[in-house]
Amino acid sequence: VLKLFKSLHRTRQEVFKNDTKALEAARQKINEEFRNNRNETSEEKINELLKIGSDVEVILRTSVIQAVHTDSDKIVLIPRKDLLQDNTPYLDKPTKK
């Protein structure tokens, strides 16, 4: 449980870097969820909560991209390096391997 707690906070710090509002909101939500379930004794329920927490960590790490409003009608995306992937060029006539 403690390992997941620390992992969620590390991921939060990486995903929401330089965004104090999002960092604080995520910190409060993580702490609140763990606090609400700290007296849980059912092993089945604990395993279910751990699965949900690890799924949330994966989604945050792989799906969240920061965006910054630069003008009233412009947004700049700030992707992390681990989200960037090599792009496969489009081919009108794909070749068979």
Average pLDDT by stretches of 10, the chain with 97 residues: 94 91 94 92 93 93 85 84 71 68
Using alpha carbons, list the distances in angstroms from residue 90 to 41, 48, 49, 68.
53, 42, 42, 30
CA distance 13 to 27: 9
pTM for the model: 0.75
